[in-house]
Structure 1
């Protein structure tokens, strides 16, 4: 019978050949650090500490998700633009998520081969001799806006951009540290190291102060050699703060053991290898399919924010003349992602649905905005495409991709008296597609395939809009926790379960990609006509945004 299957039908042979070509997983045996000597370790844990939720997710070595535990993240915002988060609370919540994962899985500690951690990017997490120096400044923090304006006007800015491939904005640690250095130097004076969120968690897990090549190079370094660059540090005016920058380590090549203290707090075993992941943007994209396959592949995460990436060799990076976007290394030799990010994506849909819920509540119909999500498809069907321009700049921090403007705000262009609520919903959804097209256009030609993850991926109508906006087929990954998976993939390579990241992608990512959904030709034609209106009005509104910002500031001072 076995021989029959080997030489049987073409379909049977192709399945057997595909299985034989699949990367083989190496067997990981735990030594005496665990209670069961010689026990097979078959789990990798990925930690993804996002802005909304901190997750701990268990995967088997073949990439199957086994269980997940989550703790809601907490941060504070104020009217001056600050967005801060407690370092101690963040570590406590991370440890709680890991303990919660242990509650869901028998003998999690004994079965864990490795742990990896990724987290929200940018921001500034200062640590001194005795622990945290105040609360972290998050990527949402807008206080560094005047410093960004000053630095962008410098004659050193283009050299900084050419090295990092990354435009300056208020989110970044470099901008925030430069702002602190001028206006709050005591914060940096008390610090011994400047970390990012995942670096802070790694310090608590292992006792090691370090950062990864992705955040190090797009903030303070050069994406070509993945090292710090003195030209960049000088352009930020931070040469005298160089000693605050931590050592750079690559989590696919180097791990550190889980400390005794961290083991006691997480329920895992001391000595478990811990890998420092790359920033969450590229970990999510890696887990969702940005790398692997033929053609010019792009990957967008369209959730609360919009992150648009395409992977390429570093020598093929297209640096735009505006000096915007990011270049972020992947944990693959000489492969980087070129990135543009929208400050707000589905947050715009949350806003328009929230407006409807508020009106219904005023009329005595209590409705949660989440209850209205199911009606989006109906509203899209009740409206015509390409009739109204909507700029999705709903964030209080303005926009950062493909242009940087802290004054940018959302708005409709082209409303008339015959437009109704379904038309507004469609315009908001189309605004997400136009903003995505704007971002990919700043990186070069539009991609030939889009791989999609995030909240928008669940809606057939939204997928159709995004596909037609780029005139590219869309594929959706069935991976639930792409960010945690990307981090776990790094750990799987680091411990030798896979020979390299290509082998891991072939097993963890490619089989989970759905069939390609081709763009609707009629929608493509409509959006080809809509985009010039979107682009022209976006550029024309900039003076109005600036004047409105000044008027609001003057009014606030007067009252």
Structure 2
């Protein structure tokens, strides 16, 4: 029976998912991919190691599907966006891949924001350059690693590297192409954009652009040997994981704000015309003549994961020993905290924020009689508040009629209800375990005409989703807390650089 393979590579884990063509996941295999942090603000990974880990996951997923490898009729990959993966003239990795959590180019992005470059970039490309954008990272490499810069022959994203490893074909898709260098008006690469960032000599290193559902290559003999895939299997161009996640939950369409609560706070609305604003990125959607308006920051559920890893180790061990979920073990603490008043407020800026690279996380309002449950509640509220910052911006620009939520935390009913109450709008959670991988698989299926288009989802979405509706009283209470959350963040803006400056010299007092 025909099946589809969707590859989803995040910032720490690479996954391979085999789907039946009706959308049913048949098997999932995961491999952790170590992050390399050779110095502060540098977050990288070994590119060959990433491919080998992904190949292992593919082989395990095929075996786990209990179907022969030649049942996989098409493949597509999705992966974290931004960051950068470079190849030299021999098509070999030119140093490690740089992840979107990397902030080495923060000073460059800040300098652009203080001058004219950022506003010119907004008008031309539809987005303000940020610290992990390819534009800022390439500008950093040009200054600090000129020998590496001079050898750049191909500029790729993460999923483009995986596609190359599968097929030997170099290229990208429309969604990934628009991370820095496309004209927002005509949605194609612009030499003026490269010139604006001082990168015009690299214009020829930009990859060819295909549609996300366009077949761009076939599985090579070498890739087939490593993965167990059948040589010659069609591979589609794939897409940025933000877009893939929205597609996988039925949220990549006008009038819907798709929310991904993962490492990043991702909030996106599709429009049929470009609308630029410094509060969001106006990037290419899957289809020509549509734009994906993304308001994002690296400040979402990764904060919750950090709290669990740092302060809930005993519960992690208990959960592993008993086969339970650590989230289920901690649920009663959170539920109890939600029933009582709390002064605790958390700003979820452990890894980044909407306020620039100097912002940092903090608890405020903690009292001696409060416990870990109050802190967990504050972390979850802070995550949802940060999403609201972005969603409020999008609601200023677009007619948003519904919200769809995905991400690991969305499976927690209390957290989903919290989103509805904080946003004061209905929030729908679709029972899609691997939304981004399914979004990639939809592109693969459309590429070989199993589906009419990537939006032709064969599943009955109405029968596999739950909608959480806001409670008026709770929404009113959250409005007060949200306004205080925003006021504190605004008050801290002049202090964050001073706090950040405490570690610049690296000397202990």
TM-score, length-normalised on structure 2?
0.92
- Structure with larger Rg: 1
Q: Deviations over 1:259-281 (max 9, x none)?
A: 22222222222221100111111
Selected match of 1:454 from 398, 404, 407 = 407
Selected match of 1:542 from 474, 478, 493 = 493
Q: How does 1:157-556 map to 2 (within 5 A)?
A: 157-292=118-253, 296-315=255-274, 317=275, 319-320=276-277, 323-357=278-312, 371=326, 374-383=329-338, 384=340, 387-395=343-351, 398-399=352-353, 403-445=354-396, 447-502=400-455, 504-505=456-457, 507-508=458-459, 510-511=461-462, 513-554=464-505, 556=506
Equivalent residue, structure 1, for 2:75: 115
> Root-mean-square deviation (CA), in Å?
2.4
CA gap 1:158/1:140 in 2 versus in 1, 3 angstroms: same
Q: How does 1:124-143 map to 2 (within 5 A)?
A: 124-130=84-90, 131-143=92-104
CA gap 1:244/1:154 in 2 versus in 1, 3 angstroms: farther
> How many pairs align?
501
Selected match of 1:99 from 35, 38, 59 = 59
SS at match of 1:547: helix
Q: Residues 385 and 523 of structure 1 are in contact (CA less than 8 Å); yes or no, is this contact kept in structure 2? A: no
1:513 Cα deviation after fit: 4.2
Q: Residues 159 and 232 of structure 1 are in contact (CA less than 8 Å); yes or no, is this contact kept in structure 2? A: no
1:287 Cα deviation after fit: 0.1
1:70 Cα deviation after fit: 1.7
TM-score, length-normalised on structure 1?
0.84
Q: Which runs of 5+ in 2 are unaligned?
A: none
In 1, distance between residues paired with 2:415 and 2:292?
24
SS at match of 1:222: coil
Q: Which runs of 5+ in 1 are unaligned?
A: 1-40
Q: Deviations over 1:195-215 (max 9, x none)?
A: 111111111111111111112
CA gap 1:350/1:558 in 2 versus in 1, 3 angstroms: closer
CA gap 1:290/1:95 in 2 versus in 1, 3 angstroms: same
Q: Deviations over 1:273-306 (max 9, x none)?
A: 10011111110111012135xx832111112332
CA gap 1:508/1:224 in 2 versus in 1, 3 angstroms: farther
CA gap 1:371/1:204 in 2 versus in 1, 3 angstroms: closer
CA gap 1:109/1:355 in 2 versus in 1, 3 angstroms: closer
In 2, distance between residues paired with 1:558 and 1:422?
33
Once the two structures are overlaid, the 10-residue window that deviates more, 445-454 or 62-71, is: 445-454
In 1, distance between residues paired with 2:157 and 2:330?
39
1:225 Cα deviation after fit: 2.6
SS at match of 2:294: strand
In 2, distance between residues paired with 1:368 and 1:541?
38
1:460 Cα deviation after fit: 1.6
